[in-house]
Amino acid sequence: MDAVEVSAATAYCAFAYYNYVEIFCQKKIKKPWKKRRWWMKNIHRNRTTQTIENQFLELNFEPSGEFENLTHLNYTDFQYLLSKVSPIISKKDTHWRLAIPAKLRLAITLRYLATGDSLKSLHFLFKVSSEIISKIVPEVCTALVEV
């Protein structure tokens, strides 16, 4: 091979490699990062421990037995069960959000076991997302079996 053929072959290889890299980069679809519209839905944002405590106290002092209607346990049995289970089912708060209290976790599970409500209806009742409820129920059931 003389110098002209070598330089032509080199130029052809460089051109082919450049086209290959260009096509490969075009095949990769680079999606721009989208900012999330919300971290948490508004229905869940106004859930606080004070409102949960107030709701349980109001249900407990209701003369028609509404707390027993909710959990199918009287308040003293609920508190006893909570004292036994809460070390197992309690979660720690993080910098981003507060953990769901053990009392609410137990109430959600007892309501689910007592009535068989769908996760969506529990979602609206307790202001906790149905995805989290689907994780809470098995965890608390396992803790109940342990206790």
Selected residue with higher pLDDT from 37 and 96: 96
Residue 136 has pLDDT above 90, yes or no: yes
DSSP string, the chain: --HHHHHHHHHHHHHHHHHHHHHHHHHS--PPPPPPS-SS-HHHHT--HHHHHHHHHHHHH-TT-HHHHHHSS-HHHHHHHHHHHHHHH-----SS-PPPPHHHHHHHHHHHHHH---HHHHHHHHT--HHHHHHHHHHHHHHHHH-
* Mean pLDDT of the 29-49 span: 60
Share of the chain above pLDDT 90, in %: 22
Query: How confident is residue 58, by pLDDT bands cut at 50, 70 and 90?
Result: confident
Residue pLDDT, tens place only, 68-102: 888 888 888 989 999 999 999 998 888 877 888 89
* Mean pLDDT of the 2-21 span: 73
Q: What local confidence, expressed as pLDDT, does residue 9 receive?
A: 74
Tell me the pTM: 0.66
